[in-house]
């Protein structure tokens, strides 16, 4: 293989690798006293007036073991007072939860995730993580 062919093969491999499953560079990461949480958004960037899927992966901060007995919710508020919320549904993957939100307007939204690691004990602390999510304008024609 010549130099040009080798360079093309390397670039192609990099592009294929960048298009796999989740772009971890866009994940939101939070840590509490005892939890590590990774949140991915699909599609990214989220667009107004479309259903957005939040994938939440929760692990124990010290042991890195998945937390599969938890419960929680995600909710959001825009600058103009619009809101969206959904409970976390346990996914097929261990320690993974899913929620769906639909933002009615574009702009910055204040997002919060509340999570309790043990559903069998209601005294377990409900932990909260907050961040700002930029929501793009709706896709033309939507």
How far apart CA 38 and CA 18 sit, in angstroms, is: 19
23: cis peptide before it, omega within 30°?
no
70 in a structural domain: yes
In a domain, residue 8? The reply is no
- Does residue 88 sit within a domain? yes
pLDDT in tens, 41-94: 999 999 999 999 999 999 999 999 999 999 999 999 999 999 999 999 999 999
Burial of 108-129, coded b for 16+ CB within 10 Å and e otherwise, reads: ebebebbbbbeeeeeeeeebeb
**How do beta strands 107-116 and 127-135 pair?**
antiparallel
Based on the structure, what is the number of domains in the chain?
Answer: 1
58 touches 35 (CB < 8 A): yes
Q: Per the domain annotation, does 140 fall within a domain? A: no
Is 118 part of a structural domain of the chain?
Answer: yes
Q: How many CB atoms lie within 10 A of CB 69?
A: 14
Q: Alpha helices of 19-102 — where are they, by DSSP H?
A: none
CATH code of the domain covering residue 42: 2.60.40.3340
- Cis peptide bond prior to 17, omega within 30° of 0: no
Paired tokens of 14: 């990099």
Residue 75 sits in which domain range? 24-135
Please check whether residue 130 lies inside any domain of the structure: yes
Report if residue 85 sits inside a domain.
Answer: yes
Confidence band (pLDDT; 50, 70, 90) for 11?
A: very low
Could you read off the pLDDT of 102-129 as tens digits, one per residue?
999 999 999 999 999 987 777 778 899 9
Whether residue 95 is predicted with pLDDT greater than 80 in this model: the reply is yes
Asked if residue 3 is part of any domain, the answer here is no
């Amino acid at each position: 293989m010549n130099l040009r062919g080798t360079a093309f093969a390397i670039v192609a491999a990099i592009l294929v690798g960048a298009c796999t499953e989740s772009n971890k560079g866009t994940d939101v990461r939070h840590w509490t006293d005892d939890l590590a949480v990774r949140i991915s958004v699909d599609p990214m960037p989220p667009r107004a007036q479309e259903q957005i899927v939040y994938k939440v992966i929760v692990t124990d901060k010290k042991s890195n073991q998945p937390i599969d007995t938890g419960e929680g919710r995600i909710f959001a508020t825009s600058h103009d007072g619009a809101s969206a919320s959904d409970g976390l549904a346990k996914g097929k993957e261990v320690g993974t939860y899913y929620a769906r939100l639909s933002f009615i307007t574009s702009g910055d939204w204040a997002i919060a995730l509340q999570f309790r690691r043990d559903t069998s004990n209601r005294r377990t602390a409900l932990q909260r993580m907050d961040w700002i999510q930029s929501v793009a304008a709706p896709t033309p024609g939507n």
